[in-house]
């Protein structure tokens, strides 16, 4: 069913209420009224290798600028100098916590341009891996919000349960982080014997963990006090700024690529949009908490519906000499952060002419965050930033 949640905590607090809708006042540093400070680019202070240049008046942010440039990866340009198969070890690094979405988009785009039809079994396995990837990200992200407010216990619990899913990833693919399991034409292997039983054991532990998370975080007075009414995103920002994923759904806007533009076999699964209406920090993480529950359910549905055996890869040319016909395509999937798309252009050679990533982090971490922090208290900067779930390599692509 469609899950809609409105938190019961009360109205927006007045003391450090978000005032992003107001016009920013001119900042004159020479007046000595304001102080400029930096947050980041170290990982404990920021969501990855980026930094925030904050101008504050007392403990209130009056101006914010997002700075990137600490990675210098240049992924998109590197693609143009690699054969299609050689792009996979590069593309997964465009988002370290959830690399499988990059694998899927690159493989799917190559298949569409190369007229490759993927076997049914391979598509079920792809869907299983994508939802496992989403689950391990949410197990890190949901308690991570509490971590911005000093709850180390929440993070320890979350990381333990995330490791259980990474155990299954390693068992299936041979790697814990960068898997390269999804390749053009299919996947690299079938499920090991007993894999479903072991995954179900992990999911059962995660069911208990979700209940613990409710008691530790979402029913916690301090967590609510600091997140309810903080950094409210107006609903009309969603289309104006290209907001997507849980951030859009927290504003009551139904956005999910799996539902809006079904791919693989998501149209055979029973799930719906998880939405809230208050669009504050609390709401954004309530949506992710609901997504956590939904993802566990989807994994069980996938394991119940998928065939026991079948072809896992379509015939493809020699990948080191595979010339993709001229053409262009746009492929997308739903990452834990929202719509994740690849625009791909082929020129008839062994090398891509252009691969462009459209990820949610660019919009969320720059356009939205810079405006959203105006009027916020400096103690809430980390919580607001983490609630947008950015991944800096998506920006420095």
Q: DSSP string covering 91-125, please?
A: HGGGSTT-THHHHHHHHHHHHHHHT-PPPHHHHHH
User: Is the CB of residue 138 less than 8 Å from the CB of residue 203?
Assistant: no
Strand order in 352-358's β-sheet?
A: 327-335, 338-346, 352-358
d(CA 388, CA 363): 10
CA distances to 256, 268, 309 from 262, in Å:
9, 10, 24
User: Is the CB of residue 388 less than 8 Å from the CB of residue 247?
Assistant: yes
Among the listed residues 305, 282, 350, the one whose alpha carbon sits nearest the alpha carbon of residue 86 = 350
Element holding 223 (H helix, E strand): helix 221-227
Helix, strand, coil percentages for the chain (3-state, nearest 5): 50, 15, 40
What residues does 3 pair with on adjacent strands?
Answer: 274
Per DSSP bridges, beta strands 3-5 and 274-276 are parallel
Among the listed residues 141, 22, 109, 106, the one whose alpha carbon sits nearest the alpha carbon of residue 397 = 106
pLDDT, position 388: 92
Cis, bond preceding 232 (omega within 30 deg of 0): no
What residues does 275 pair with on adjacent strands?
Answer: 4
pLDDT, position 29: 65
- Cβ atoms within 10 Å of 1's Cβ, excluding its own: 6
Per DSSP bridges, beta strands 327-335 and 338-346 are antiparallel
Ramachandran quadrant class, 307 (left: phi over 0; alpha: psi -120 to 50; beta: rest): beta
Residue 218: CATH number of its domain: 1.10.645.10
Residue 311: DSSP 8-state = -
Apex CA 82: angle with CA 48 and CA 136, to 5°? 35
d(CA 134, CA 177): 13
Domain that holds residue 64: 3-395
The total number of structural domains in the chain stands at 1
pLDDT, position 18: 42
Go through 64-103 and write b for each residue having 16 or more CB atoms within 10 A of its CB, e for each that does not: bebebeebebebbebbeebbbbebbebbbbbbebbbbbbb
CB-count exposure of residue 313 (10 Å: 0-12, 13-18, 19+): middle
pLDDT, position 1: 44
Query: Is 46 in a helix, a strand, or coil?
Result: coil
Residue 234: DSSP 8-state = P
Give the distance, in angstroms, between the CA of residue 262 and the centroid of all CA atoms in the same chain: 18
d(CA 199, CA 247): 29
- Which residues lie below 8 Å from residue 274, measured CB to CB, with a gap of 6+? 3, 5, 246, 249, 287, 290, 291, 294
- Which residues lie below 8 Å from residue 282, measured CB to CB, with a gap of 6+? 7, 9, 223, 224, 227, 228, 229, 230
Q: What is the mean pLDDT of each run of 10 residues along the chain (397 residues)?
A: 49 41 59 82 75 92 90 86 93 89 96 96 98 95 82 85 96 92 95 96 95 88 90 94 94 95 96 93 93 96 95 93 95 94 96 93 90 92 90 84
């Amino acid at each position: 069913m469609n899950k809609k949640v409105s938190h019961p905590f009360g109205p927006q607090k007045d003391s450090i209420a978000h005032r992003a809708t107001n016009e920013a006042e001119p900042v004159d540093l020479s007046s000595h009224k304001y102080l400029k400070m930096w947050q980041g680019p170290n990982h404990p202070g920021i969501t990855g290798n980026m930094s925030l240049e904050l101008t504050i008046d007392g403990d209130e942010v009056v101006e914010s600028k997002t700075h990137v440039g600490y990675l210098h990866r240049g992924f998109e340009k590197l693609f143009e100098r690699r054969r299609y198969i050689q792009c996979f070890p590069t593309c997964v690094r465009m988002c370290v916590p959830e690399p499988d979405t990059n694998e899927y988009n690159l493989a799917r785009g190559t298949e569409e341009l190369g007229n490759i039809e993927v076997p049914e079994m391979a598509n079920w396995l792809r869907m299983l891996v994508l939802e496992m990837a989403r689950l391990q990200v949410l197990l890190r992200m949901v308690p991570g919000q509490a971590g911005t407010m000093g709850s180390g216990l929440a993070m320890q619990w979350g990381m333990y349960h995330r490791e259980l899913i990474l155990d299954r990833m390693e068992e299936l693919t041979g790697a814990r982080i960068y898997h390269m399991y999804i390749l053009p034409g299919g996947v690299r292997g079938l499920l090991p014997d007993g894999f479903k039983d072991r995954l179900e054991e992990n999911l059962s532990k995660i069911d208990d963990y979700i209940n613990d998370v409710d008691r530790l975080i979402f029913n916690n007075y301090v967590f609510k006090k600091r997140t309810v009414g903080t950094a409210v995103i107006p609903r009309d920002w969603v289309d104006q700024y290209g907001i997507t994923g849980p951030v859009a759904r927290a504003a009551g806007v139904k956005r999910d690529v799996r539902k809006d533009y079904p791919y693989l076999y998501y149209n055979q699964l029973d799930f719906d949009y998880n939405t809230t209406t208050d669009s504050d920090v609390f709401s954004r993480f309530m949506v992710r908490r609901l997504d956590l529950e939904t993802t566990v359910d989807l994994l069980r549905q996938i394991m119940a519906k998928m065939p026991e055996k079948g072809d896992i890869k379509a015939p493809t040319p020699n990948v080191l000499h595979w010339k993709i016909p001229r053409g262009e395509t746009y492929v997308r999937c739903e990452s834990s952060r929202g719509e994740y798309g690849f625009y791909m252009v082929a020129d008839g050679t062994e090398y891509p002419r252009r691969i462009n990533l459209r990820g949610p982090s660019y919009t969320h971490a720059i356009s939205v965050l810079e405006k959203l922090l105006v009027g916020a208290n400096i103690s809430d900067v980390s919580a607001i930033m983490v609630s947008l779930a950015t991944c800096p390599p998506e920006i420095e692509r």
